Amino acid sequence: MTRALALSLLIALGAALSLSALPLSAQEQIDQDMVARIRAEGFDNSHVLELFNHLTNVIGPRLTNSPGYYESVEFMRDKMIEWEFEDVHVEAWEFGRGWSLERFSVEMLEPRYLPMIGFPVGWSASTPGRLVSEPIMLGGKSAAELRSLQGGLEGAIVLTRPIETNFFREDRPQPQFEDRFTPSRSLTRSPSTPPAATQQAERSRRQEASRALGDLLVGGGVGVQLAPTRGEHGTLFVTGRDQGEGAVPSVVLAAEHYNLVARLLEQEISVTLAVEVAGRYYEDNTDAYNVIAEIPGVDPEIGDEVVMVGAHLDSWHTGTGATDNADGSSIVTEALRILKALDVQPRRTIRVALWGGEEQGLLGSREYVRRHFEGAENVVAHEKFSVYYNLDNGFAPIYGFFMEGNEAAREIMEDYLEPFNDLGANISTMAGVGSTDHLSFIGAGLPGFQSIHDFTGYDVRTHHTNMDTFERVQEEDLKQAAVVMASILYHSAMRDGRMPRALVAAQR
């Protein structure tokens, strides 16, 4: 038997024992007096708006390893120290260079003047000053047509996609008690579907053209590439990644403005654009950070067991990262502040984490789990871990949790939510959800659950957009979420057994 197999069997055995430790019909003991105290502290003496305002309005965007990101790490760490959380520290991990935008403009000069709506992608290269020229449409061209342009695009402003007609117009469904739920974005689509053979031929053609376009942009001397967003009404969906030296500066334009230019070119009307991108890379410090703090457990037998809550602190760079994820970071920190203010003495340790690098692939939480819960050296810590709660997708308030196929945990969660049914917290769906930090824990065989929030306008307006700002979130919703989360953390830390573990993770 290999060491890895032995470890896997040990984890599975622990999960089975945990699952059998509590009768499925057991009623959770809810401390109604503590619930009342949490409500009073959370609604009457809240500091959650203070945190949320500072992260969004004062600091602004928090792209991983940018100055704003580092400032947010220091601010939240210092707040935890001020509020006397214990073992407050940051854990560093290697990420790479940071980036920030220092100056940007995109304008149509001819056939008339128009200041255009756009934003560079994250880590975009800079243009060599202000580029002024007629744009060249590359979108929709065949691979052969693109290859024929090699060597003729030095310093050019290029449009890389055809006119945009598919837009994000529907948010994901708001989950209720359904057993299966797959988050998705709905696009406007053609009412008819081409035959399979036609689809395959078209797919092959597009793939070949895409490769030719990539070859043309790499080393072709292009000045800047423009692409349309799939948002409407000036909403820009913008992400990005560091593509290294020699990358072409890249800008996302509002579809309405991009399409205007494309239509003018189609009609052979002369167009002149002016584009300037000035960004800055930061390479002195390539470490990103997780901010960690806790309220220690006091029970001599289970005080070193851990109940954990977290949210990612980083954001994308166009808006101010309000719903993704300043609200989550503010809520989880406020939840611990509430418990600290009430001088709770939890049986288990209650730990909070603010992750970095979530937007680049759950990097901070994955590194934390790797260091603390994976491998033979962490078998005991793995066994003593109870549960991780994550706050991310959607925005406040908390309506419930995705329970990842864990029926035993779902029954517990329903008891935890019952005191807050009057505040709208009443959903514990068996479904799972992807693309956020609880998956790092699930991947290590640990219970991890993402909260359910409001998705109204989230996918079509705020998620990874320039419209993700302070206005999207209401103070009372932040308070509600912090109160609900504080109570869940308290009762998770006080119950006799650890949270049951599902033997098979929910399908995503």
pLDDT digits (tens, 9 = 90+) for 482-504: 999 999 999 999 999 999 998 64
Q: How confident is the model at residue 26 (pLDDT cuts 50, 70, 90)?
A: low
Give 240's strand partners.
122
Rounded Cα gap, residues 219 and 212, in angstroms: 12
Average pLDDT over residues 223-246: 97
Phi, psi for residue 329 in degrees, rounded to 5: -65, -40
Phi, psi for residue 485 in degrees, rounded to 5: -70, -40
Q: Quote the pLDDT of residue 502.
A: 84
Q: Quote the pLDDT of residue 188.
A: 38
Percent of the chain as helix, strand, coil, to the nearest 5: 40, 20, 40
Is the predicted pLDDT of residue 190 greater than 60, yes or no?
A: no
Q: Quote the pLDDT of residue 203.
A: 80
Token pair 């255009």 is found at: 116
- The mean-pLDDT minimum among 89-93, 193-197, 276-280, 332-336 falls in 193-197
Average pLDDT over residues 453-478: 96
Q: Quote the pLDDT of residue 218.
A: 87
Q: Quote the pLDDT of residue 193.
A: 59
Is the predicted pLDDT of residue 388 greater than 80, yes or no?
A: yes
Q: Quote the pLDDT of residue 182.
A: 41
Is the predicted pLDDT of residue 87 greater than 80, yes or no?
A: yes
By C-alpha distance, which of 69, 112, 85 is closest to 363?
Answer: 69
By C-alpha distance, which of 439, 453, 452, 429 is closest to 180?
Answer: 429
Q: How confident is the model at residue 70 (pLDDT cuts 50, 70, 90)?
A: very high
Say what percent of the chain tops pLDDT 70.
Answer: 90
Q: How confident is the model at residue 448 (pLDDT cuts 50, 70, 90)?
A: very high
Number of Cβ atoms within 10 Å of the Cβ of 7: 17
Is the predicted pLDDT of residue 68 greater than 70, yes or no?
A: yes
Q: Quote the pLDDT of residue 175.
A: 86
Q: Quote the pLDDT of residue 506.
A: 40
Number of Cβ atoms within 10 Å of the Cβ of 256: 16
Tell me the per-residue pLDDT of 350-375, one tens digit each, with 9 for 90 and over. Answer: 999 999 999 999 999 999 999 999 99
Q: Which residue has the higher pLDDT, 128 or 201?
A: 128
Per DSSP, helices labelled H in 462-507 are 475-494
Q: How confident is the model at residue 176 (pLDDT cuts 50, 70, 90)?
A: confident
By C-alpha distance, which of 385, 354, 357, 325 is closest to 241?
Answer: 357
Rounded Cα gap, residues 363 and 490, in angstroms: 28
Q: How confident is the model at residue 177 (pLDDT cuts 50, 70, 90)?
A: low
Tell me the per-residue pLDDT of 40-67, one tens digit each, with 9 for 90 and over. Answer: 999 999 999 999 999 999 999 999 999 9
Q: Quote the pLDDT of residue 199.
A: 77
Say what percent of the chain tops pLDDT 90.
Answer: 84
Q: Quote the pLDDT of residue 185.
A: 36
Tell me the per-residue pLDDT of 426-446, one tens digit each, with 9 for 90 and over. Answer: 999 999 999 999 999 999 999
Structure tokens at 446: 């640990």
Is the predicted pLDDT of residue 328 greater than 90, yes or no?
A: yes
Q: What is the mean pLDDT of the chain?
A: 91
Structure tokens at 215: 């070859």
Q: How confident is the model at residue 129 (pLDDT cuts 50, 70, 90)?
A: very high
Q: Quote the pLDDT of residue 503.
A: 64
Give 451's strand partners.
401
Q: Quote the pLDDT of residue 437.
A: 98
Structure tokens at 224: 């800047």
Average pLDDT over residues 117-126: 99
Rounded Cα gap, residues 156 and 408, in angstroms: 60
List, in order of start, the domains of the chain with CATH numbers.
Answer: 11-96+284-494 (3.40.630.10), 99-280 (3.50.30.30)
Number of Cβ atoms within 10 Å of the Cβ of 42: 28
